Amino acid sequence: MEPNLERLVPACVREFEPYIPSKPDHELRNLYGCDRLYRLNNNENPLGPPPGAQEIIRRFPPPLGAVYPSGDSYDLRGEIAAFHGIHPDQVLVGNGANEVITFVIKAFCEPGDNIITADRTFAVYEWVAVFSGIEARVVPLKEGRFDGPAMLDRIDDATKVIFLCNPNNPTGTYWSRDTLVAFLEAVGGRQIVVVDEAYFEFVEAGDYPDGVSLVGAYPNVVAFRTFSKMYGIAGLRIGYLAGDRNVVDMIRRTCVVYSVNAVAQAAALACLRDDTGHIARTRALMRQSRAFLREELGRMGLPVICGEGNFLIVKLPGSDTLAYRKLMREGVMIRPMTGFRYPNHIRVTLAGMEAMEAFIRALKKILA
């Protein structure tokens, strides 16, 4: 007897369109007939982890693979707290930023509630809400930026969480400290405001705010950070949130303990203790590759959306999904932007010059 999925599965899950991840690189190389694949689709750091984290990964004792990790990332939470000058109980570590997004929505929302997000931003906020039976109110960007007044207009008594990706993925635009503070003043503590700072370490603009530092004055702020981007350990899946102690205590109740593996915890500790100039080296490489792409794409007459972060968006004269397939045959993997509500655009991760030159050669070839 087959189970009656119509009866057993909530409509919000049945009707949700699942995200289909890409195949492994070896399968993609076989599928598209390319000997080498430049990964410019996931905003990964081409330099990899800092040296200290690399050593942790290399030397992790195999017998410890049989031992459960710290269930609440005790040592790492202490290091993160010291790094930010806050109490360890204000920190919550998760299996990547996606898990901490889920923690927040589970902690504050139930069916009948809603969250507010943007139409062209990190899609996981919307996805988690929708398949959890929570309404996601999607507010269009205005001139490529979050539209604060429009977001405030969508708030009602059922609004629990507002998500701000700062700087925004995929546009690279950001709210300055003054803009963010003005928005928080207008919210007035009535909702939780998540400030997702996944690309924090890439930003060099002087007026860019530190969300964690705002928690004291605005206890409804929850800031997200990740070790996947600048620190280059995306494969270990580890991120964290920081907030007011009482707020984090509520979120902690929704956590799954032991979800963060021991290698990830140890490597993240090494990332925070890194004094080898990893961030400076990465930023220098990003500046070089960004300048190269902007110049080359400008010569090709292709509009570019380029802000903070380790990526940029290119507008193509035709289909982004078709361009994806053609570029894959040239061994270059980018992110088509139709899923981000940017049809005919592609997002390109900034990487080493070999990869950047390969991308430009391939793009010229497919457009010709």
* Closest listed residue to residue 44, CA positions, set 262, 276, 218, 234: 234
Residue type, 113: D
Q: pLDDT tens digits for 13-50?
A: 999 888 888 899 999 999 999 999 999 999 999 999 99
pLDDT for the residue 1:
84
Residue ranges of domains in the chain, CATH in brackets = 5-49+277-367 (3.90.1150.10), 51-272 (3.40.640.10)
pLDDT at 269: 97
Token pair belonging to 277: 């100039």
- Please report which confidence band the pLDDT of residue 342 belongs to, taking 50, 70 and 90 as the band edges: very high
Q: Are 223 and 242 in contact (CB under 8 A)?
A: yes
Mean pLDDT for 240-254 is 98
Q: Which residues have CB under 8 Å from 213's CB, separation 6+?
A: 84
Alpha carbons 223 and 94: distance in angstroms, whole number = 13
pTM, two decimal places? 0.95
Buried b (16+ CB within 10 A) or exposed e, 163-177: bbbbbbbbbbbbbeb
Q: Among 14-28, 75-89, 118-132, which stretch is predicted with the lowest mean pLDDT?
A: 14-28
Start-to-end Cα distance in the chain:
56
pLDDT at res. 287 = 98
| Predicted local confidence at residue 21, as pLDDT | 87
